Chain A
């Protein structure tokens, strides 16, 4: 876009509301897409399949066998949500985030709709912000749906009662529900860094599938780096390092330490890759 064009766009009076309109249309397009619904349904299937498998199996698990909390599911349905969160975090949630975040800019470019979006009086910065907000909304939706599906199927198939925390203390059902929501908030926060990386990768290419795959690869590579002891100095700065830290919300007294550290790390990634995405997108020669 030449400088004269952008100058003309800036003088259009309803710029202030243009951003909100764009956000609203982005969200409604994202959550009306069949692909988004399919991914959210698949996310909801994780706790459902897990709970049915545990319900149908006759062998009782010894304490500590299988994924964390799995042996407690039969005694308390509220643990279904926590177990499926542990199962979904390493691969499945990053996969769906990769699809949504990788598609943000590259998808529009691939379909040839990007230049029409930029004709609207919003500008490139707002378009980036709106696209990122859409990806963040998907993170929250995925984590919430996983939690709610886990709670519902757990309550349907297993007894529900006071929850034993990792510290051995017992909390009431309402407090356990509150902690479940906190875990969902923690998990969606954990995925924001990866979303920013996906947004940046998406500005690099016009092929959405490439951006999606690259984002998923980045999340897998980060998790591999996280288990190499030779890179211990790097671990606290990997965006995936605190992904399982939501366990700190299941301790008594509640340990906010990893929530705070996680937020700082994710913010670093958002700021860095947000800046990279801005520079790349603002200077990009958009022809499609």
Chain B
């Protein structure tokens, strides 16, 4: 019956149109209108000149580092784990989740794996003497972590634990930053506060190890961008390329993509999914801890006390030894400088694999080799090179 065929048409056409639209629309959003050509140095200068930009936007980060799947014992509190390990029958201890859910390392690993969404608000305050104000909201499922800095105070707030942490920014911070900057200028021999000179210097220094080029224009968060592509010249690194997409009007970097060798999807991609260039509402940067929240006061180290010299001394001892150059560099941490949390962490022991001479944590971008004597080698190089460095 031809009439029935006509009536069946919507069942075929409508789903086809919707599916086609779902596939085609994002592709069109990524296509860019042509921009006037710029050299790599000009794009670098644009980035440098974007320092005073006010903006707010949503940042998406995704990573595919090839890390083994983590059993982060989601949703189980330490007391639940304790009671579970007390009641578990003999021989079934493996079923008790490792109590790693509270460690800072777990939080850090959680942040570098998977995908995250954050809202960012920045008020650069072009008025002289006014400090930069920043608010970052990391949106978790049914929860949120906040960081608010209004120039004089820094607040962080975790909705899951209902805890607010406060730290006062030392009043002399800006002057001490200035003196430090002049120190850096003297040491490097370049005026860091002069963007043009800095851009030239950066390109010169990158030259032996890295090819810096401008790729095809793209569209990020609805804005046309220049792509600055850094490609390592050395072949013994895991990094294939780093792409920085720079907004063609404000010079603000909108997306950073790191590709690893032998992997199609980006190892790390951080970029805006929406951005607006206007000064955010002042209310965004005021934070008062809500009634009922636990408030933790945190002291920042003071600049002039003798205590800092001591920590500086131990910090120098903790500075890793770097061998190799450019992208193939390997950092070696002495066994004494490795924090205890990393050296005997149950979770790390779980995801690190046994290799000759120690244990290794392999990702598509970075390899970590923990020698049996406790030294830790980190580098964006094949694992064999880390083992060779440890054997020297």
Contacts and interface: CB of A to CB of B under 8 A. Distances in A.
Contact of B14 (A65, A75, A229, A275): A275
Contacts of A3: 3
Interface stretch (A29-37, A38-46, A179-187, A243-251): A243-251
Contact of A64 (B69, B77, B290): B77
Contacts of B294: 63
A166 B10 contact: no
A270 to B, nearest CB: 10
A79 to B, nearest CB: 11
Interface stretch (A14-22, A135-143, A212-220, A277-285): A277-285
Contact of B137 (A71, A75, A251): A251
A: contact size bracket: 35 or more
A283 B161 contact: no
Contact of A62 (B69, B77, B288): B77
Nearest to A64: B160
Nearest to B294: A63
Interface string B313-333: 000000000000000000000
A172 interface: no
Contacts of A64: 77, 160-162
A158 interface: no
B111 interface: no
B15 A168 contact: no
Contact of B274 (A161, A257, A276, A279): A257
B92 to A, nearest CB: 24
A283 B162 CA distance: 57
Interface stretch (B82-90, B138-146, B183-191, B236-244): B138-146
Nearest to A3: B3
B18 A271 contact: yes
B293 A282 contact: no
Contact of B11 (A71, A162, A255, A275): A275
B289 interface: yes
Interface residues of B, number: 43
A86 B142 contact: yes
Interface string A253-288: 101010000000000100110111011101100000
A79 B86 CA distance: 34
A278 B159 CA distance: 46
A282 B119 contact: no
A117 B352 CA distance: 67
A154 to B, nearest CB: 16
Contact of B142 (A68, A253, A268, A275): A68
Interface string B70-103: 0000000101000000000000000000000000
Contact of B287 (A62, A168, A248): A168
B182 interface: no
Interface string A236-248: 0100000010011
A275 B137 CA distance: 40
A167 B157 contact: yes
A24 to B, nearest CB: 27
Contacts of B77: 62, 64-65
A205 interface: no
B141 A166 contact: no
Interface string B279-294: 0010010011111111
A164 interface: yes
A279 B9 CA distance: 7
A164 B163 contact: no
Interface in B98-129: 119
A134 B48 CA distance: 58
B22 A276 contact: no
A264 B52 CA distance: 36
Nearest to B69: A229
Given A63-B162, A251-B144, A283-B4, A257 B11 contact: no
A173 interface: no
Quick one: which of B69, B159, B274, B291 has the most chain A CB within 10 A?
B159
A278 B290 contact: no
A244 B143 CA distance: 11
B139 A251 contact: yes
Contacts of A63: 160-163, 294
Contacts of A164: 162, 290-293
Given A65-B77, A253-B284, A167 B144 contact: yes
A126 interface: no
Given A251-B137, A271-B14, A282-B7, A168 B291 contact: no
B14 A248 contact: no
A244 B292 CA distance: 25
Interface in B130-168: 137, 139, 141-144, 146, 155, 157, 159-164
Interface string B1-38: 00110011111011100100010000000000000000
A278 B142 CA distance: 37
A279 B149 CA distance: 58
Contacts of A247: 141-143
A255 B284 CA distance: 13
Given A63-B160, A64-B77, A271-B14, A166 B7 contact: no
A283 B9 CA distance: 11
Given A62-B77, A237-B22, A279-B8, A166 B15 contact: no
Quick one: which of A63, A68, A167 has the most chain B CB within 10 A?
A167
Given A64-B160, A247-B142, A283-B4, A268 B274 contact: no
A75 B159 contact: no
Given A86-B142, A251-B119, A272-B18, 6 more contacts: A62-B77, A168-B287, A247-B143, A271-B14, A276-B11, A279-B10
